[in-house]
Structures are given as C-alpha cells and as structure tokens.
Amino acid sequence: MSPTAAHPVQSHVRNAITIDVEDWLSALYPQRPVTDRFVVNTRKVLQALATRQTRGTFFVLGRVAEKAPQIVREIQAAGHEVQSHGYGHELLHHLTPARFRADLEHSKKLLEDITGCPVNGYRAPAFSITTQTLWALDVLAETGFTYDSSVFPLRTRRYGIDGAPYYPHVLRTPGGHELHEFPVATYRLAGRRIPAGGGGYFRLFPYFVLRRGIRQLNVAGHPATIYMHPYEYNPGEISELPYAISWKTRLHQSLGRRWFPRRMDRLLTEFRFGSIRDVIAAVSDWPRHEHKPQPAE
Ligand SMILES: [Zn+2]
C-alpha cells in the first residue's frame, strides 16, 4: 500500500477487500450463458490490486470457474485467497437446504480441484442469508466452511437482517456450530445505518460516505469488509451487450462505473486492506453473536 500526500492513510486497522467473481449478464439473468467478459474484467481487478500491493478474497462463482479455470489460477498465483460464491447464483430462498448443500459442495470441489487448496469461505448470491434462510449457516458449517460473508447487517428491499452485528464476529448458528461472519461495512448516520461497503452503494454514494463508514468501524476497533465485482471495472459493458436490457436496470447498473476504478484506487491508498484470511489472522479477540432459530412461517 502506498498512501499519498493528497490521500493520507486514515487508519491502521486491516480491513477485508472482497471480490465476487461472476459474469454480470449471467449473474443477473441465470438463463443466459456465461460470457467471457468476466475474464478481462477480473484481470483489471488483479492489476488494480497489484498496483497497490494489496491482497484480497475472491469469491468465485462455480459456473464461471468451470468456464475459465485459468483465471482462477491467475487469482491464486497473484497471492489472493480463492473462496466460493456458490455454483449457480441462485438466491438461497429459492433453494431447499438439500439443493443449497449440493450447490455448495459442487462449487467447493470445483475450486479445490483447480487450486489444490481448501475452500472454506463463502458469500451467498445477493447476500441472500436472511432470517428466512438461517438454516444455510448450519449447512455451511456442516460442509466444511469456517467463515461466511453473506449477512447484510440491515434490512433492505431485497436482503439483510435488521439488528445483526455490523462488525466481523464469531457467530453461533441455529444448530450450534460456529462460523466467522464478515458483514459488509455500513455507516451510522443520524442514528441510522446506511450501506457503505461496495457494489452499487459504492458507485452511487458520495466517496465521503464510504470513507467515513470504514473509518467509523476502524475507530471502534473493527475491521471493515468491502466488496466489488469485476464488471464494475468495465464502464462500457452494458451498452456492448447484444441483448435488450430494461432502461431501469441499465441505469442502475451503469451509473458510477466510470469513476469506480478511481474511487477504489483512492480507498486502497487511504486504508489498509487484505484478504479475509489475513483479517482473521490479525485479530485474536472476536466479539460473539448467536443466531436463534426462527419460528416457521
Ligand atoms: Zn453475485
């Protein structure tokens, strides 16, 4: 990491930088085939991280790893952590526990065969571990996962759990297993929490919201977790696609891509980042939290 005079370092806490490796079109529209755009886009992320000598955690979708195993090897060769984003990018509330287990085991084996290293970290598609799908935490523990980064610590229209801890912690699953949980960073403003950890929020909110969100967590002694997607490094992608994309999706997904790489680079100079594995190794005293089983609906 190399702080500059214009962007002095804001904190010495090591934060986690995570990348969900997927193809934009097939992640949003699972019936579409995986295009190889994600390979070029992932190389841009690798270059950006190499420029700031930063290591991250790449949650790789099984479908894309199958299509281009060489990019998984490139991620690993660059010193990053390769973990699982599941296989088919189906939201967890559309799956039964048995189908989730099969998706998880398939993606784990695929990535382990490519990298030769154990896969024990997970991020659900669209943060879809909610109060309705807490059973997924037990399935994760039972299939050999030791950490998760799928609980969004506030309820939004599509996902999240209100009242879940907003900082990394060790959680006890409804079935009594333990997992490290890494919620995405949020910023407390006027008594409310707002997302500040990446993706669309990172593209659309002012930079100071992101910076203050991370600093606020760090000042309280907590690492922040941020996330991004390789396609956010490709501003022209959506207009290049040979498919009809609704104007609403086009607007929401395109906005901010133009300045995303510059923002991310600035963030990498102002804070210390590493992989989730690095953060787990750096912290010895973890706060604890218990997720109680939810009554059936
Ligand atoms: Zn995803």
Q: How far is CA 260 from CA 41, 201, 208, in A?
A: 13, 11, 14
Residue 286 CA to ligand 1 center (angstroms) comes to: 27
| Between 239 and 133, residue with greater pLDDT | 133
Which amino acid is present at 156? T
209: alpha, beta or left? (left if phi > 0; alpha if psi -120 to 50): alpha
CATH 3.30.70.20 fits 14-282, yes or no: no
- Ligand 1 center–CA 158 separation, angstroms: 14
Position 250 scores a pLDDT of: 63
Distance 89 CA to ligand 1 centre (A): 6
What distance in Å separates the CA atoms of residue 177 and residue 68, rounded to the nearest whole number?
34
- Residue 110, pLDDT > 80, answer yes
Taking the centre of ligand 1 as the mean of its atom positions, its distance from the CA of residue 94, in whole angstroms, is 15
Between the CA atoms of 111, 112, 114 and 116, what dihedral angle is there, to the nearest 10 degrees? 150
Ligand 1 centroid–CA 90 distance in Å is 9
Q: 176 near 293, Cβ under 8 Å?
A: no
**Residue found by looking up tokens 């950006």 in the block:** 48
- CB atoms within 5 A of ion ligand 1 belong to 20, 22, 27, 125
Residue 294 pLDDT level (bands cut at 50, 70, 90): low
Distance 4 CA to ligand 1 centre (A): 33
| d(CA 285, ligand 1 centre) in Å | 30
- What pLDDT is stored for residue 197 in this prediction? 85
Question: What distances in angstroms separate CA 2 from CA 41, 50, 52, 282, one per listed residue?
Answer: 24, 11, 6, 20
Answer for the pair 142, 178: CB distance below 8 angstroms, yes or no: no
The answer to whether 202 touches 228, Cβ cutoff 8 Å, is yes
Q: Is 39's pLDDT higher than 90? A: yes
Quote the ligand 1 centre to 13 CA distance (angstroms): 27
Cα 233 to averaged position of ligand 1 atoms, centre (Å): 15
Please say whether the dihedral angle defined by the alpha carbons of residues 159, 164, 168 and 173, taken in this order, is positive or negative.
negative
CA 30 to ligand 1 center in whole angstroms:
11
Span 123-182, pLDDT tens digits: 999 999 998 999 999 999 999 999 999 999 888 777 888 888 999 999 999 999 999 999
Model confidence pLDDT, tens digit, residues 1-15? 445 666 667 778 999
What are the residue ranges spanned by the domains of the chain?
Answer: 14-282
> Which three-class secondary structure string do you get for the chain?
CCCCCCCCCCCCCEEEEEEEECCHHHHHCCCCCCCCHHHHHHHHHHHHHHHCCCCCEEEECHHHHHHCHHHHHHHHHCCCEEEECCCCCCCHHHCCHHHHHHHHHHHHHHHHHHHCCCCCEECCHHHCCCHHHCHHHHHHHHCCCCEECCCCCCCCCCCCCCCCCCCCEEEECCCCCEEEECCCCEEEECCEEEECCEHHHHHHCCHHHHHHHHHHHHHCCCCCEEEECHHHHCCCHHHHCCCCCCHHHHHHHHCCCCCHHHHHHHHHHHCEEECHHHHHHHCCCCCEEECCCCCCC
Q: How far is the CA of 62 from the centre of ligand 1 (A)?
A: 11
Average pLDDT, the chain: 88
